[in-house]
Structure 1
Amino acid sequence: MTISTTASTSTLPTLRAAESSRRALRADARRRDEGQSLLHYLAVSISASILVLLLGVAVAVVGLPVVVGGTAMTVLTQSMEPGLPPGTLVVIRPTPVDEIRVGDVVTYQISSGEAAVVSHRVVSKTYADGELTFITKGDNNDTVDPAPVRPVQVRGTLWYSLPLLGWVNSLLNGANRTIVLAVVAGGLFLYAAVSVGGAVRDRRKKTDAAAAVADQAEAPSVSRRRSR
């Protein structure tokens, strides 16, 4: 009985030390996991925000105009400042000429049948030789445009505008569109790969940390069994 009592008493400091070691290891593992999780969530949040921004730009520049049969254009001159400064994205949509009102911003061909267009505000409606025409003027101009705008010249009216995104629209025009779309698609695939890889890496680290804690907890027990 005396021998048994002495052995049991001598193992108490060892057990307490082992328990303290296990607690310390668990605390360290928890702190590492929390730090890694915070960085991971921060990276994911930033990436998701950028992704949402890119999707929003794509919808504004390409998606919505296609839905209504409209066109996205870029303001290049100062004639419509301050409301529509250069670089503004303007999206126009087809509008029956009899529904165009004074105060609307219309986009029209400078010469009928030609590609060059202007977006100016309607300041009055007139009739020339029995045909409805529009007198237009840039908000930043001192005088009205030199010639009335005929219905055949009208491409549409302003639906909405977004500052600075006109430069993005210019970038997406022509051959650049394919390049930009390829870059965006590659970025989305990269984002998905990084997210999946990060999740797998975090899971593996947690598994390794748990295994290390278990090994450390098992070591004092093995040592005691061997000493006996």
Structure 2
Amino acid sequence: MVRAGSMGSHLPASCLDIFGDLRKMNKRQLYYQVLNFAMIVSSALMIWKGLIVLTGSESPIVVVLSGSMEPAFHRGDLLFLTNFREDPIRAGEIVVFKVEGRDIPIVHRVIKVHEKDNGDIKFLTKGDNNEVDDRGLYKEGQNWLEKKDVVGRARGFLPYVGMVTIIMNDYPKFKYALLAIMGAYVLLKRES
């Protein structure tokens, strides 16, 4: 159903109702809604920062974006990471690492570790579902990863929970529609 009007005749009636509801609010009610929204956002940020401190990882939760780790992890699995510096990296461990020049971290298994007497560690990774190691993914001239490249180590996962993130990245219109629906729900819920 589409409501006719001079502005936004292409918007569904529920969206126009929301804008009308916003116009009907007095300044105090609008201020209250803005404050509630700010509290929700700041609470989420505090929880995220708390997870960073607890896990030692700059990104304590990541989504598997490809099938390179199948059958261990599938596209859309949500991984929980830790990254305590004192824990040694061992062959067989699944790590999430960043490579210079790439924006997105990679989730792969450590296949070889070289440990020097002074404690320096270099290691090589490979996706379980890939034919060759990851040297082709590293920056030019880099043959090994170091501890500084590690974002975290997989400690647990929830299967396919991250598919929502993948769908929102693959289909941006879906993301905006979902945000609009969530916003409308919050506004309508507050009024009832």
So what's the TM-score if we normalise by structure 2?
0.52
Any residues of structure 2 matched to 1:125-164 within 5 Å, and which? 125-127=113-115, 131-146=120-135, 147-164=143-160
Give structure 1 stretches of 5+ with no counterpart. Answer: 1-60, 195-228
Give structure 2 stretches of 5+ with no counterpart. Answer: 1-43, 136-142
Alpha-carbon distance between aligned partners in 2 of 1:96 and 1:179, rounded to the nearest angstrom: 41
Tell me: CA distance 1:102–1:63, structure 2 relative to 1, closer, same or farther (3 Å): farther
In the alignment of these two chains, the number of paired residues is: 133
1:105 match: 94
Alpha-carbon distance between aligned partners in 1 of 2:77 and 2:179, rounded to the nearest angstrom: 21
Alpha-carbon distance between aligned partners in 2 of 1:175 and 1:127, rounded to the nearest angstrom: 48
Greater Rg over alpha carbons, structure: 1
Alpha-carbon distance between aligned partners in 2 of 1:133 and 1:116, rounded to the nearest angstrom: 21
The residue type equivalent to 1:183 in the other structure is I
The partner residue of 2:80 within 81, 88, 91 is 91
Deviation string, structure 1 residues 53-87 (Cα, Å, up to 9, x no partner): xxxxxxxx999755321523322222100121122
The partner residue of 1:120 within 89, 93, 108 is 108
- TM-superposed CA distance for 1:118, in Å, is 1.0
- TM-superposed CA distance for 1:150, in Å, is 1.1
Q: Is the 8 A contact 1:68 1:93 kept in 2?
A: no
2:185 match: 187
What is the percent sequence identity of the aligned residues? 27
Give SS of 1:80's match: coil
Deviation string, structure 1 residues 107-164 (Cα, Å, up to 9, x no partner): 11123x6423211112232137963112222111233322321112111111332222
Where do 4+ consecutive residues of structure 1 move more than 6 Å?
Answer: 61-64, 174-179
Structure that is richer in helix per residue: 1
Any residues of structure 2 matched to 1:53-68 within 5 Å, and which? 66-68=49-51
